[in-house]
Chain A
Amino acid sequence: MAGRVRDLALHLLDRQVLDTDGRAVGNVDDVELHVPEDGSPPYVVAILTGPQALGPRLGGLLGQWLVFLSNALARNQDEEPGRIGWELVTDLGSAVTVAKSRVELGVHANEDRAREYLVDRIPGARDAGS
Protein backbone atom coordinates (compact mmCIF):
# COMPACT_ATOMS: atom_id res chain seq x y z
CA MET A 1 0.00 0.00 0.00
CA ALA A 2 2.63 2.52 1.07
CA GLY A 3 4.80 4.04 -1.60
CA ARG A 4 2.35 3.34 -4.40
CA VAL A 5 2.68 5.77 -7.30
CA ARG A 6 -0.40 7.59 -8.56
CA ASP A 7 -0.08 10.25 -11.23
CA LEU A 8 -2.68 12.94 -10.74
CA ALA A 9 -4.13 13.23 -14.22
CA LEU A 10 -3.50 9.65 -15.25
CA HIS A 11 -4.72 7.78 -12.20
CA LEU A 12 -6.74 10.04 -9.97
CA LEU A 13 -8.58 12.76 -11.84
CA ASP A 14 -11.81 11.83 -13.63
CA ARG A 15 -12.07 8.53 -11.80
CA GLN A 16 -15.39 7.41 -10.46
CA VAL A 17 -16.09 7.79 -6.74
CA LEU A 18 -18.22 5.01 -5.26
CA ASP A 19 -19.93 4.92 -1.89
CA THR A 20 -20.27 2.02 0.53
CA ASP A 21 -23.26 0.66 -1.43
CA GLY A 22 -21.32 0.70 -4.67
CA ARG A 23 -23.40 3.58 -5.99
CA ALA A 24 -21.87 6.40 -7.99
CA VAL A 25 -21.14 9.49 -5.94
CA GLY A 26 -19.53 11.44 -8.74
CA ASN A 27 -16.15 11.79 -10.36
CA VAL A 28 -12.87 13.00 -8.96
CA ASP A 29 -13.26 16.36 -10.66
CA ASP A 30 -10.36 17.87 -8.76
CA VAL A 31 -8.38 17.42 -5.53
CA GLU A 32 -7.56 19.73 -2.68
CA LEU A 33 -3.90 19.90 -1.73
CA HIS A 34 -2.55 21.05 1.59
CA VAL A 35 0.66 23.06 1.30
CA PRO A 36 2.85 22.62 4.42
CA GLU A 37 4.56 25.73 5.69
CA ASP A 38 7.99 24.15 5.90
CA GLY A 39 8.28 23.71 2.13
CA SER A 40 7.90 19.94 2.21
CA PRO A 41 5.78 18.50 -0.63
CA PRO A 42 2.04 19.25 -0.62
CA TYR A 43 -0.33 16.36 -0.15
CA VAL A 44 -3.93 15.52 -1.07
CA VAL A 45 -6.42 16.19 1.71
CA ALA A 46 -9.73 15.99 -0.12
CA ILE A 47 -11.49 14.97 -3.31
CA LEU A 48 -13.53 17.68 -4.97
CA THR A 49 -16.56 16.79 -7.02
CA GLY A 50 -19.30 18.55 -8.90
CA PRO A 51 -19.64 21.25 -11.54
CA GLN A 52 -17.88 23.83 -9.35
CA ALA A 53 -14.83 21.59 -9.38
CA LEU A 54 -15.07 20.51 -13.01
CA GLY A 55 -15.81 23.93 -14.48
CA PRO A 56 -12.40 25.50 -13.85
CA ARG A 57 -10.73 22.43 -15.33
CA LEU A 58 -12.60 22.72 -18.60
CA GLY A 59 -11.38 26.24 -18.70
CA GLY A 60 -12.51 29.19 -20.66
CA LEU A 61 -16.03 30.07 -21.58
CA LEU A 62 -17.33 26.52 -21.39
CA GLY A 63 -16.11 26.02 -17.85
CA GLN A 64 -17.56 29.29 -16.64
CA TRP A 65 -20.85 28.46 -18.28
CA LEU A 66 -20.99 25.09 -16.54
CA VAL A 67 -20.39 26.68 -13.13
CA PHE A 68 -22.97 29.37 -13.88
CA LEU A 69 -25.58 26.79 -14.91
CA SER A 70 -25.09 24.76 -11.79
CA ASN A 71 -25.26 27.82 -9.57
CA ALA A 72 -28.41 28.97 -11.33
CA LEU A 73 -30.08 25.67 -10.47
CA ALA A 74 -28.83 26.11 -6.93
CA ARG A 75 -30.26 29.57 -6.69
CA ASN A 76 -27.26 30.73 -4.74
CA GLN A 77 -24.00 32.03 -6.09
CA ASP A 78 -20.53 30.86 -5.12
CA GLU A 79 -21.52 27.39 -4.12
CA GLU A 80 -18.52 25.46 -2.89
CA PRO A 81 -17.57 22.25 -4.71
CA GLY A 82 -18.57 18.99 -3.09
CA ARG A 83 -15.75 17.94 -0.79
CA ILE A 84 -14.89 14.45 0.36
CA GLY A 85 -12.15 14.39 2.96
CA TRP A 86 -9.32 11.96 2.29
CA GLU A 87 -9.92 10.24 5.62
CA LEU A 88 -13.12 8.76 4.12
CA VAL A 89 -11.30 6.92 1.32
CA THR A 90 -11.30 3.15 1.75
CA ASP A 91 -9.97 1.97 -1.60
CA LEU A 92 -7.92 3.36 -4.47
CA GLY A 93 -8.33 0.98 -7.37
CA SER A 94 -9.56 1.92 -10.81
CA ALA A 95 -12.32 3.72 -8.87
CA VAL A 96 -12.12 5.49 -5.53
CA THR A 97 -14.29 3.98 -2.80
CA VAL A 98 -15.32 6.01 0.22
CA ALA A 99 -16.67 5.00 3.58
CA LYS A 100 -19.99 6.80 3.71
CA SER A 101 -23.15 6.49 1.65
CA ARG A 102 -24.02 9.18 -0.87
CA VAL A 103 -26.67 10.69 1.28
CA GLU A 104 -24.33 11.04 4.22
CA LEU A 105 -21.68 12.64 2.08
CA GLY A 106 -24.06 15.37 1.08
CA VAL A 107 -22.19 16.39 -2.04
CA HIS A 108 -25.18 16.15 -4.28
CA ALA A 109 -27.11 19.33 -4.21
CA ASN A 110 -28.40 18.83 -7.72
CA GLU A 111 -29.27 15.17 -7.30
CA ASP A 112 -31.23 15.96 -4.16
CA ARG A 113 -33.00 18.78 -5.93
CA ALA A 114 -33.90 16.59 -8.91
CA ARG A 115 -35.18 13.92 -6.58
CA GLU A 116 -37.18 16.28 -4.41
CA TYR A 117 -38.78 18.47 -7.04
CA LEU A 118 -39.28 16.01 -9.84
CA VAL A 119 -38.67 12.33 -9.41
CA ASP A 120 -40.26 11.75 -6.02
CA ARG A 121 -43.47 13.37 -7.22
CA ILE A 122 -44.00 10.71 -9.86
CA PRO A 123 -45.54 7.44 -8.70
CA GLY A 124 -43.24 4.45 -8.81
CA ALA A 125 -40.09 6.34 -7.98
CA ARG A 126 -39.08 3.81 -5.38
CA ASP A 127 -39.41 0.68 -7.50
CA ALA A 128 -36.29 -0.76 -8.98
CA GLY A 129 -36.42 -0.84 -12.77
CA SER A 130 -35.30 -4.36 -13.53
Chain B
Amino acid sequence: MKSLLKIFLGILTAIGGFVDIGDLVANAVIGARFGLALAWVVVLGVIGICLYADMSGRVAAVSGRGTFDLVRERLGPRMGLANLLASTFVTFLTLAAEIGGVALALELATSVSYLLFVPLVAFGVWIVVWRMPFERMEQAFGILGLCLLAFAVALWQLGPDWSQLLHQAVHPSVPDGEGHPTYVFYAISLFGAAMTPYEVFFFSSGAVEEGWSRKDLRTERLNVYIGFPLGGLLSLAIAGCAAVVLLPQGISVDHLDQVALPVVLSLGKVGFAFLIVGFVAATFGASLETALSTGYSIAQYLGWQWGKRTAPREAARFHAVVLVAIILGAMLILTTLDPVKVTEYSLVFSAVALPLTYFPILVVANDRDYMGESVNGRVVNALGTFYLVLLTVVAIVAVPLMIATKAGQ
Protein backbone atom coordinates (compact mmCIF):
# COMPACT_ATOMS: atom_id res chain seq x y z
CA MET B 1 0.00 0.00 0.00
CA LYS B 2 2.80 2.33 0.96
CA SER B 3 4.59 1.80 -2.31
CA LEU B 4 1.35 2.39 -4.20
CA LEU B 5 1.02 5.72 -2.45
CA LYS B 6 4.60 6.53 -3.30
CA ILE B 7 3.99 5.76 -6.96
CA PHE B 8 0.80 7.82 -6.97
CA LEU B 9 2.60 10.74 -5.37
CA GLY B 10 5.39 10.44 -7.87
CA ILE B 11 3.01 10.56 -10.80
CA LEU B 12 1.16 13.56 -9.40
CA THR B 13 4.46 15.35 -8.88
CA ALA B 14 5.46 14.57 -12.46
CA ILE B 15 2.19 15.92 -13.87
CA GLY B 16 2.19 19.09 -11.80
CA GLY B 17 5.87 19.66 -12.36
CA PHE B 18 5.73 19.20 -16.11
CA VAL B 19 4.46 22.63 -17.03
CA ASP B 20 6.73 25.64 -16.65
CA ILE B 21 6.68 29.20 -17.99
CA GLY B 22 7.90 27.99 -21.37
CA ASP B 23 4.99 25.57 -21.78
CA LEU B 24 2.50 28.15 -20.48
CA VAL B 25 3.60 30.85 -22.87
CA ALA B 26 4.20 28.63 -25.89
CA ASN B 27 0.92 26.75 -25.68
CA ALA B 28 -1.13 29.90 -25.02
CA VAL B 29 0.51 31.91 -27.80
CA ILE B 30 0.13 29.09 -30.26
CA GLY B 31 -3.40 28.21 -29.24
CA ALA B 32 -4.43 31.83 -29.81
CA ARG B 33 -2.90 31.88 -33.29
CA PHE B 34 -3.07 28.38 -34.67
CA GLY B 35 -5.73 26.70 -32.58
CA LEU B 36 -4.81 23.08 -32.10
CA ALA B 37 -3.06 22.79 -35.44
CA LEU B 38 0.26 22.28 -33.63
CA ALA B 39 -0.98 19.68 -31.14
CA TRP B 40 1.07 17.01 -32.91
CA VAL B 41 4.23 18.88 -31.89
CA VAL B 42 3.28 18.53 -28.23
CA VAL B 43 2.74 14.80 -28.73
CA LEU B 44 6.08 14.48 -30.52
CA GLY B 45 7.85 16.46 -27.81
CA VAL B 46 6.29 14.47 -24.97
CA ILE B 47 7.35 11.16 -26.51
CA GLY B 48 10.86 12.55 -26.91
CA ILE B 49 11.17 13.77 -23.35
CA CYS B 50 9.72 10.53 -21.99
CA LEU B 51 12.30 8.56 -23.93
CA TYR B 52 15.28 10.58 -22.85
CA ALA B 53 14.15 11.24 -19.29
CA ASP B 54 13.74 7.51 -18.81
CA MET B 55 17.21 6.97 -20.26
CA SER B 56 18.87 9.50 -18.01
CA GLY B 57 16.90 8.32 -14.98
CA ARG B 58 17.95 4.75 -15.68
CA VAL B 59 21.56 5.82 -16.04
CA ALA B 60 21.43 7.61 -12.70
CA ALA B 61 19.69 4.74 -10.90
CA VAL B 62 22.03 2.06 -12.24
CA SER B 63 25.33 3.91 -12.16
CA GLY B 64 24.64 6.28 -9.26
CA ARG B 65 26.05 9.12 -11.34
CA GLY B 66 24.48 12.21 -12.87
CA THR B 67 24.44 12.81 -16.62
CA PHE B 68 27.21 15.41 -16.78
CA ASP B 69 29.55 13.30 -14.70
CA LEU B 70 29.36 10.66 -17.33
CA VAL B 71 29.31 12.98 -20.35
CA ARG B 72 32.80 14.21 -19.64
CA GLU B 73 34.05 10.71 -18.83
CA ARG B 74 32.65 9.23 -22.00
CA LEU B 75 33.16 11.99 -24.53
CA GLY B 76 36.17 13.86 -23.20
CA PRO B 77 36.63 17.30 -21.72
CA ARG B 78 36.27 19.24 -24.97
CA MET B 79 32.98 17.76 -26.07
CA GLY B 80 31.82 17.83 -22.47
CA LEU B 81 32.67 21.51 -22.29
CA ALA B 82 30.77 22.31 -25.48
CA ASN B 83 27.82 20.44 -24.02
CA LEU B 84 28.22 22.27 -20.71
CA LEU B 85 28.42 25.75 -22.20
CA ALA B 86 25.42 25.21 -24.44
CA SER B 87 23.20 23.75 -21.75
CA THR B 88 24.28 26.12 -18.99
CA PHE B 89 23.58 29.14 -21.17
CA VAL B 90 20.13 27.88 -22.08
CA THR B 91 19.33 26.73 -18.54
CA PHE B 92 20.39 30.08 -17.16
CA LEU B 93 18.14 31.89 -19.62
CA THR B 94 15.32 29.56 -18.61
CA LEU B 95 16.03 30.30 -14.94
CA ALA B 96 15.68 34.02 -15.59
CA ALA B 97 12.44 33.39 -17.48
CA GLU B 98 11.05 31.28 -14.63
CA ILE B 99 11.90 33.91 -12.01
CA GLY B 100 10.18 36.42 -14.27
CA GLY B 101 7.25 34.04 -14.52
CA VAL B 102 6.76 33.86 -10.76
CA ALA B 103 6.91 37.64 -10.57
CA LEU B 104 4.38 37.99 -13.40
CA ALA B 105 2.01 35.57 -11.69
CA LEU B 106 2.24 37.57 -8.48
CA GLU B 107 1.62 40.74 -10.46
CA LEU B 108 -1.44 39.15 -11.96
CA ALA B 109 -2.73 38.36 -8.48
CA THR B 110 -1.95 41.66 -6.81
CA SER B 111 -1.68 44.26 -9.59
CA VAL B 112 1.66 45.29 -8.08
CA SER B 113 4.42 45.63 -10.68
CA TYR B 114 6.25 42.37 -11.26
CA LEU B 115 9.61 44.11 -10.94
CA LEU B 116 9.03 44.66 -7.25
CA PHE B 117 8.51 40.94 -6.75
CA VAL B 118 11.71 39.85 -8.45
CA PRO B 119 14.12 40.28 -5.51
CA LEU B 120 11.59 38.57 -3.24
CA VAL B 121 11.24 35.67 -5.64
CA ALA B 122 15.00 35.33 -6.01
CA PHE B 123 15.45 35.24 -2.27
CA GLY B 124 12.60 32.73 -1.96
CA VAL B 125 14.13 30.44 -4.57
CA TRP B 126 17.50 30.58 -2.89
CA ILE B 127 16.20 29.92 0.61
CA VAL B 128 14.23 26.89 -0.55
CA VAL B 129 17.31 25.51 -2.29
CA TRP B 130 19.35 26.15 0.83
CA ARG B 131 17.00 24.70 3.41
CA MET B 132 14.23 22.51 2.02
CA PRO B 133 14.85 18.76 1.70
CA PHE B 134 14.93 17.66 -1.91
CA GLU B 135 12.08 15.18 -2.06
CA ARG B 136 9.72 17.38 -0.09
CA MET B 137 10.56 20.32 -2.30
CA GLU B 138 9.73 18.39 -5.44
CA GLN B 139 6.49 16.99 -4.06
CA ALA B 140 5.25 20.28 -2.62
CA PHE B 141 5.62 22.30 -5.78
CA GLY B 142 4.66 19.45 -8.04
CA ILE B 143 1.37 18.84 -6.30
CA LEU B 144 0.53 22.53 -5.94
CA GLY B 145 1.20 22.78 -9.67
CA LEU B 146 -1.79 20.51 -10.19
CA CYS B 147 -3.92 23.61 -9.63
CA LEU B 148 -3.21 24.30 -13.29
CA LEU B 149 -5.81 21.63 -13.96
CA ALA B 150 -8.07 24.67 -13.82
CA PHE B 151 -7.26 24.92 -17.53
CA ALA B 152 -8.67 21.47 -18.14
CA VAL B 153 -11.76 22.20 -16.08
CA ALA B 154 -12.20 25.55 -17.83
CA LEU B 155 -11.95 23.94 -21.24
CA TRP B 156 -14.64 21.47 -20.25
CA GLN B 157 -16.85 24.23 -18.86
CA LEU B 158 -16.49 26.29 -22.01
CA GLY B 159 -18.32 23.57 -23.86
CA PRO B 160 -16.36 23.81 -27.10
CA ASP B 161 -17.14 21.98 -30.28
CA TRP B 162 -15.02 18.93 -29.49
CA SER B 163 -15.24 17.46 -32.95
CA GLN B 164 -13.95 20.69 -34.43
CA LEU B 165 -11.06 20.79 -31.96
CA LEU B 166 -10.22 17.19 -32.72
CA HIS B 167 -10.37 17.90 -36.43
CA GLN B 168 -7.91 20.77 -36.00
CA ALA B 169 -5.53 18.59 -34.07
CA VAL B 170 -5.69 15.61 -36.37
CA HIS B 171 -5.57 17.59 -39.60
CA PRO B 172 -2.77 20.06 -38.95
CA SER B 173 -2.83 22.85 -41.46
CA VAL B 174 -1.56 26.36 -41.64
CA PRO B 175 -4.46 28.75 -41.01
CA ASP B 176 -5.19 31.57 -43.45
CA GLY B 177 -3.11 34.62 -42.84
CA GLU B 178 -0.15 32.67 -41.46
CA GLY B 179 2.88 31.68 -43.48
CA HIS B 180 4.49 28.26 -43.49
CA PRO B 181 7.79 29.55 -42.05
CA THR B 182 5.93 31.04 -39.08
CA TYR B 183 4.13 27.78 -38.54
CA VAL B 184 7.40 25.85 -38.49
CA PHE B 185 9.02 28.45 -36.24
CA TYR B 186 6.29 28.06 -33.68
CA ALA B 187 6.47 24.30 -34.00
CA ILE B 188 10.14 24.54 -33.08
CA SER B 189 9.41 26.76 -30.07
CA LEU B 190 6.78 24.34 -28.85
CA PHE B 191 9.18 21.47 -29.34
CA GLY B 192 11.86 23.35 -27.41
CA ALA B 193 9.36 23.93 -24.60
CA ALA B 194 8.53 20.23 -24.32
CA MET B 195 12.15 19.03 -24.44
CA THR B 196 14.03 21.77 -22.58
CA PRO B 197 17.56 20.55 -21.72
CA TYR B 198 17.38 21.19 -17.99
CA GLU B 199 14.58 18.66 -17.63
CA VAL B 200 16.85 15.69 -18.26
CA PHE B 201 19.74 16.98 -16.16
CA PHE B 202 17.44 17.69 -13.31
CA PHE B 203 15.73 14.34 -13.60
CA SER B 204 18.98 12.40 -13.56
CA SER B 205 20.66 14.47 -10.86
CA GLY B 206 17.46 14.34 -8.84
CA ALA B 207 17.55 10.56 -9.08
CA VAL B 208 21.01 10.60 -7.52
CA GLU B 209 19.87 13.10 -4.86
CA GLU B 210 17.01 10.80 -3.88
CA GLY B 211 19.33 7.80 -3.86
CA TRP B 212 17.56 5.78 -6.54
CA SER B 213 18.85 2.33 -7.32
CA ARG B 214 17.81 -0.51 -9.59
CA LYS B 215 14.77 -1.33 -7.50
CA ASP B 216 13.40 2.16 -8.13
CA LEU B 217 13.43 1.66 -11.88
CA ARG B 218 9.83 0.55 -12.03
CA THR B 219 8.64 3.62 -10.12
CA GLU B 220 10.82 5.78 -12.32
CA ARG B 221 9.26 4.36 -15.48
CA LEU B 222 5.74 4.83 -14.17
CA ASN B 223 6.47 8.44 -13.21
CA VAL B 224 7.82 9.13 -16.67
CA TYR B 225 5.44 7.21 -18.88
CA ILE B 226 2.26 8.11 -17.03
CA GLY B 227 3.15 11.46 -15.45
CA PHE B 228 4.74 13.19 -18.42
CA PRO B 229 2.05 12.39 -21.00
CA LEU B 230 -0.62 13.59 -18.58
CA GLY B 231 1.44 16.74 -18.16
CA GLY B 232 1.43 16.97 -21.94
CA LEU B 233 -2.36 16.74 -21.91
CA LEU B 234 -2.40 19.65 -19.51
CA SER B 235 -0.28 21.63 -22.00
CA LEU B 236 -2.84 20.81 -24.67
CA ALA B 237 -5.61 22.02 -22.36
CA ILE B 238 -3.83 25.37 -22.13
CA ALA B 239 -3.65 25.54 -25.92
CA GLY B 240 -7.26 24.42 -26.16
CA CYS B 241 -8.46 27.19 -23.87
CA ALA B 242 -6.61 29.75 -25.93
CA ALA B 243 -7.96 28.22 -29.13
CA VAL B 244 -11.54 28.35 -27.93
CA VAL B 245 -11.55 31.80 -26.34
CA LEU B 246 -8.73 33.87 -27.81
CA LEU B 247 -8.47 32.66 -31.39
CA PRO B 248 -12.03 33.54 -32.49
CA GLN B 249 -11.64 37.02 -30.99
CA GLY B 250 -8.23 37.50 -32.55
CA ILE B 251 -6.68 38.16 -29.14
CA SER B 252 -2.96 37.51 -29.17
CA VAL B 253 -1.00 36.51 -26.11
CA ASP B 254 1.62 39.01 -24.96
CA HIS B 255 1.04 38.81 -21.27
CA LEU B 256 -0.03 36.40 -18.59
CA ASP B 257 -3.44 38.16 -18.46
CA GLN B 258 -4.45 36.70 -21.78
CA VAL B 259 -3.29 33.27 -20.74
CA ALA B 260 -5.58 33.44 -17.72
CA LEU B 261 -8.54 34.92 -19.57
CA PRO B 262 -10.26 31.69 -20.65
CA VAL B 263 -10.19 30.36 -17.08
CA VAL B 264 -11.50 33.60 -15.64
CA LEU B 265 -14.29 33.68 -18.19
CA SER B 266 -15.52 30.19 -17.49
CA LEU B 267 -14.68 29.62 -13.84
CA GLY B 268 -14.69 33.13 -12.40
CA LYS B 269 -12.85 34.12 -9.26
CA VAL B 270 -12.46 30.58 -7.94
CA GLY B 271 -10.84 29.41 -11.14
CA PHE B 272 -8.60 32.47 -11.12
CA ALA B 273 -7.46 31.74 -7.56
CA PHE B 274 -6.55 28.16 -8.47
CA LEU B 275 -4.77 29.45 -11.54
CA ILE B 276 -2.62 31.86 -9.58
CA VAL B 277 -1.59 29.12 -7.16
CA GLY B 278 -0.83 26.87 -10.12
CA PHE B 279 1.17 29.56 -11.98
CA VAL B 280 3.25 30.38 -8.93
CA ALA B 281 3.84 26.75 -8.00
CA ALA B 282 4.80 25.72 -11.54
CA THR B 283 7.15 28.64 -12.19
CA PHE B 284 8.62 28.65 -8.69
CA GLY B 285 9.21 24.91 -8.93
CA ALA B 286 10.85 25.37 -12.31
CA SER B 287 13.02 28.18 -10.88
CA LEU B 288 14.28 25.76 -8.26
CA GLU B 289 14.96 23.13 -10.87
CA THR B 290 16.80 25.41 -13.26
CA ALA B 291 18.86 26.99 -10.48
CA LEU B 292 19.87 23.56 -9.21
CA SER B 293 20.49 22.32 -12.75
CA THR B 294 22.96 25.12 -13.38
CA GLY B 295 24.84 24.02 -10.28
CA TYR B 296 24.54 20.34 -11.17
CA SER B 297 25.98 20.68 -14.66
CA ILE B 298 28.96 22.86 -13.70
CA ALA B 299 29.78 20.87 -10.56
CA GLN B 300 29.50 17.51 -12.29
CA TYR B 301 31.68 18.59 -15.20
CA LEU B 302 34.40 19.93 -12.94
CA GLY B 303 34.21 17.05 -10.47
CA TRP B 304 33.06 19.03 -7.42
CA GLN B 305 31.00 17.53 -4.66
CA TRP B 306 27.46 18.54 -5.54
CA GLY B 307 23.88 18.30 -4.39
CA LYS B 308 21.56 18.96 -1.53
CA ARG B 309 22.11 15.61 0.12
CA THR B 310 25.29 16.77 1.84
CA ALA B 311 25.53 19.81 4.07
CA PRO B 312 26.15 23.04 2.13
CA ARG B 313 29.60 23.46 3.56
CA GLU B 314 30.55 20.11 2.06
CA ALA B 315 29.56 21.34 -1.37
CA ALA B 316 30.55 24.96 -1.08
CA ARG B 317 31.36 25.69 -4.73
CA PHE B 318 28.12 24.05 -5.86
CA HIS B 319 26.03 26.26 -3.60
CA ALA B 320 28.07 29.31 -4.57
CA VAL B 321 27.31 28.68 -8.24
CA VAL B 322 23.59 28.22 -7.56
CA LEU B 323 23.49 31.45 -5.58
CA VAL B 324 25.29 33.39 -8.30
CA ALA B 325 23.01 31.93 -10.98
CA ILE B 326 19.90 33.05 -9.08
CA ILE B 327 21.28 36.54 -8.55
CA LEU B 328 22.28 36.92 -12.20
CA GLY B 329 18.94 35.56 -13.37
CA ALA B 330 17.09 38.04 -11.20
CA MET B 331 19.29 40.84 -12.47
CA LEU B 332 18.47 39.92 -16.05
CA ILE B 333 14.76 40.27 -15.35
CA LEU B 334 15.33 43.51 -13.46
CA THR B 335 16.70 45.07 -16.65
CA THR B 336 12.97 45.28 -17.54
CA LEU B 337 13.39 42.94 -20.48
CA ASP B 338 9.92 41.49 -21.01
CA PRO B 339 9.91 38.10 -19.25
CA VAL B 340 7.59 36.70 -21.88
CA LYS B 341 10.12 37.67 -24.57
CA VAL B 342 12.94 36.15 -22.51
CA THR B 343 10.88 32.97 -22.34
CA GLU B 344 10.36 32.90 -26.10
CA TYR B 345 14.07 33.36 -26.77
CA SER B 346 14.97 30.69 -24.22
CA LEU B 347 12.78 28.25 -26.16
CA VAL B 348 14.53 28.90 -29.45
CA PHE B 349 17.96 28.53 -27.87
CA SER B 350 16.76 25.37 -26.16
CA ALA B 351 15.91 23.98 -29.57
CA VAL B 352 19.42 24.81 -30.82
CA ALA B 353 21.12 23.18 -27.83
CA LEU B 354 19.03 20.01 -27.94
CA PRO B 355 21.18 17.69 -30.11
CA LEU B 356 24.32 18.64 -28.22
CA THR B 357 22.71 17.86 -24.90
CA TYR B 358 20.85 14.70 -25.89
CA PHE B 359 23.50 12.89 -27.92
CA PRO B 360 25.72 12.12 -24.88
CA ILE B 361 22.75 10.67 -23.01
CA LEU B 362 22.16 8.21 -25.82
CA VAL B 363 25.83 7.20 -25.82
CA VAL B 364 26.06 6.80 -22.05
CA ALA B 365 22.83 4.83 -21.83
CA ASN B 366 24.43 2.29 -24.17
CA ASP B 367 27.66 1.90 -22.25
CA ARG B 368 27.96 -1.53 -20.64
CA ASP B 369 30.65 -0.32 -18.26
CA TYR B 370 28.15 1.83 -16.41
CA MET B 371 24.88 0.17 -17.25
CA GLY B 372 25.70 -3.51 -17.18
CA GLU B 373 22.67 -5.29 -18.56
CA SER B 374 20.45 -2.22 -18.34
CA VAL B 375 21.69 -0.74 -21.60
CA ASN B 376 19.15 0.53 -24.11
CA GLY B 377 17.15 -2.05 -25.95
CA ARG B 378 16.89 -1.99 -29.72
CA VAL B 379 13.56 -0.17 -29.82
CA VAL B 380 14.72 2.57 -27.45
CA ASN B 381 17.90 2.97 -29.48
CA ALA B 382 16.00 3.17 -32.75
CA LEU B 383 13.61 5.80 -31.37
CA GLY B 384 16.44 7.62 -29.65
CA THR B 385 18.44 7.82 -32.86
CA PHE B 386 15.39 9.00 -34.80
CA TYR B 387 14.88 11.81 -32.28
CA LEU B 388 18.52 12.75 -32.43
CA VAL B 389 18.29 13.20 -36.19
CA LEU B 390 15.10 15.21 -35.74
CA LEU B 391 16.72 17.37 -33.05
CA THR B 392 19.69 18.07 -35.31
CA VAL B 393 17.44 19.22 -38.12
CA VAL B 394 15.47 21.41 -35.71
CA ALA B 395 18.66 22.89 -34.26
CA ILE B 396 20.03 23.84 -37.67
CA VAL B 397 16.80 25.43 -38.80
CA ALA B 398 15.83 27.24 -35.59
CA VAL B 399 17.90 30.41 -35.69
CA PRO B 400 17.59 31.13 -39.43
CA LEU B 401 13.83 30.71 -39.08
CA MET B 402 13.77 33.01 -36.10
CA ILE B 403 15.54 35.68 -38.11
CA ALA B 404 13.43 35.10 -41.22
CA THR B 405 10.10 35.28 -39.40
CA LYS B 406 11.33 37.98 -37.01
CA ALA B 407 10.63 35.65 -34.10
CA GLY B 408 7.17 34.85 -35.34
CA GLN B 409 5.76 38.32 -35.88
Contact = CB atoms under 8 A, between A and B. Distances in A.
Note whether A and B contact each other (Cβ less than 8 A).
yes
B309 A16 contact: no
A126 interface: yes
Contact of A15 (B73, B81, B309): B73
**A-B residue pairs, 3 tightest by C-beta:** A129-B308, A27-B303, A115-B316
A51 B303 CA distance: 11
Contact of B81 (A27, A58, A111, A112): A58
B313 A125 contact: yes
B310 A17 contact: no
Interface in A20-68: 23-27, 29, 49, 51, 54, 57-59, 62
B370 A94 contact: yes
B307 interface: yes
Contacts of B305: 23-24, 102, 111
Interface string A88-130: 0000001000000010000000111011001110101111111
Given A14-B72, A16-B69, A25-B303, A120 B313 contact: yes
B131 A124 contact: yes
Contacts of A2: none
Interface of A: 9, 14-17, 23-27, 29, 49, 51, 54, 57-59, 62, 94, 102, 110-112, 114-115, 118-120, 122, 124-130
B311 interface: yes
Contacts of A16: 65, 69, 73, 303
A129 B77 contact: no
Interface string B68-98: 0100110011101100000000000000000
Given A15-B73, A58-B77, A110-B317, A27 B312 contact: no
Interface residues of B, number: 39
B310 A23 contact: yes
Contacts of B72: 14, 27
A58 B302 CA distance: 13
Interface string B104-146: 0000000000000000000000000011111110000000000
Given A17-B303, A115-B313, A130-B209, 10 more contacts: A24-B304, A58-B77, A94-B63, A94-B369, A114-B317, A114-B319, A118-B316, A119-B313, A125-B311, A129-B311
A57 B78 CA distance: 8
Interface in B132-189: 132-136
Nearest to A102: B305
A24 B303 contact: yes
B130 A124 contact: yes
A54 B78 CA distance: 10
Interface of B: 63, 65, 69, 72-73, 76-78, 80-81, 130-136, 209-210, 302-314, 316-317, 319-320, 323, 369-370
A125 B342 CA distance: 33
Contacts of A118: 316, 319-320, 323
Contacts of B319: 114, 118-119
A128 B316 contact: no
Contact of A128 (B63, B304, B311, B323): B311
Nearest to A19: B305
A71 to B, nearest CB: 16
B311 A127 contact: yes
B135 A130 contact: yes
22 contacts: A14-B73, A14-B77, A15-B73, A16-B73, A23-B310, A24-B306, A26-B303, A49-B303, A59-B78, A94-B63, A94-B370, A110-B317, A112-B316, A114-B316, A115-B316, A118-B320, A119-B319, A125-B313, A127-B311, A127-B312, A128-B310, A128-B311
